[in-house]
Chain A
Amino acid sequence: RKEVEQDPGPFNVPEGATVAFNCTYSNSASQSFFWYRQDCRKEPKLLMSVYSSGNEDGRFTAQLNRASQYISLLIRDSKLSDSATYLCVVTPNTGNQFYFGTGTSLTVIP
């Protein structure tokens, strides 16, 4: 079983729409959680960390559900510039490895 699983999409949404991505993880003892954004043929960059109580950064909201072992990312009022691949990342509480999901592709359509 993969450490982290994501729906690859693609998600094609109109500008202004709200879109949500989920990501499940297999290790119940996982400690740290992140969402990264990757533009085509570029390196991944941190979008936001995910905290136990949930957190928001402008139009982006991240949630963690430890009981069901998933994290989510909500994007409100989608912009054309939000078009990218979104990667979820999970780390265990032991060891020094980051586990990446395969990414979810988002295209925001004018």
Chain B
Amino acid sequence: NAGVTQTPKFQVLKTGQSMTLQCAQDMNHEYMSWYRQDPGMGLRLIHYSVGAGITDQGEVPNGYNVSRSTTEDFPLRLLSAAPSQTSVYFCASSYQWSSGGAYEQFFGPGTRLTVL
């Protein structure tokens, strides 16, 4: 199993450009999510999905779009990049919550994005 994969590892954008960060998992996890990590802020949830065709907003969704057409893939789109979106982006997946609670999340290696 490859686990959670993310591409690209590094990206530099100019203000106003758009791009898609790719995320894929091969563990048949229903739950997938995107976080950004900034110094002193911890990981903040951008969007998440509980299954194909179902997405929802997290804590910091503005400026980002997601879709979930398959169980495996969960791309994150930056619509018009801004310097405030300079960050490290992590994708994660897990089995869906049960009545007993949440399961371990597995993280991808991250994408380091700089917006000039």
Q: Which chain A residues have a beta carbon within 8 Å of chain B's beta carbons?
A: 4, 8, 31-32, 34, 42-46, 49, 87, 89, 91, 93, 96-98, 100-103
Contacts and interface: CB of A to CB of B under 8 A. Distances in A.
A44 B107 contact: yes
Interface string B31-61: 1010100001111110010100000101100
A7 B50 CA distance: 32
Interface in B73-109: 90, 96-97, 101-102, 104-105, 107-109
A86 B40 CA distance: 13
Interface of B: 31, 33, 35, 40-45, 48, 50, 56, 58-59, 90, 96-97, 101-102, 104-105, 107-110
A34 B56 contact: no
User: Interface majority SS on A: helix, strand, loop or mixed?
Assistant: loop
Given A87-B43, A96-B56, A103-B42, A49 B104 contact: yes
